[in-house]
Amino acid sequence: SYVLTQPPSVSVAPGKTARITCGGNNIGSKSVHWYQQKPGQAPVLVIYYDSDRPSGIPERFSGSNSGNTATLTISRVEAGDEADYYCQVWDSSSDHAVFGGGTQLTVL
């Protein structure tokens, strides 16, 4: 089955740029979606189809996907960005949705 690998944690100072990676075999050939989840809340889609932003998501959130790594980039990080972030793809070979293990973003 397809596996997505994320770092368990990323720390960043306010105002700096956070980059959260999502590794998978030839993930560049798949569409990657990213979700933000704050404690006690349902996940929220922040990036879809690699780099598109849903309405209401700040431009500070961006995504890229190439080769074996997809990346969620959060510019000018704010305290309110502190959350768990998950990447997700649809694995057409198994007809399963697959999530990465999640990355806890800490704003220092």
Partner 1 sequence: EVQLVESGGGLVQPGGSLRLSCAASGFTFSSYEMNWVRQAPGKGLEWVSYISSSGSTIYYADSVKGRFTISRDNAKNSLYLQMNSLRAEDTAVYYCARDTQLVRWGQGTLVTVSS
Read off φ and ψ for residue 76, nearest 5 degrees: 45, 60
* Selected binder of partner 1 within 62, 71, 88, 107 (CB under 8 A): 88
CB-based contact 85:20 (threshold 8 Å): yes
- Rounded distance, CA 21 to CA 72, Å? 6
**Interaction residues for partner 1, span 62-81 (CB under 8 A):** none
Q: For the window 26-55, what string marks contact with partner 1 as x by the rule CB under 8 A?
A: -----x-x-x-x----xxxx--xx----x-
What is the contact surface with partner 1 in residues (CB under 8 A)?
1, 31, 33, 35, 37, 42-45, 48-49, 54, 84, 86, 88, 90, 95-102
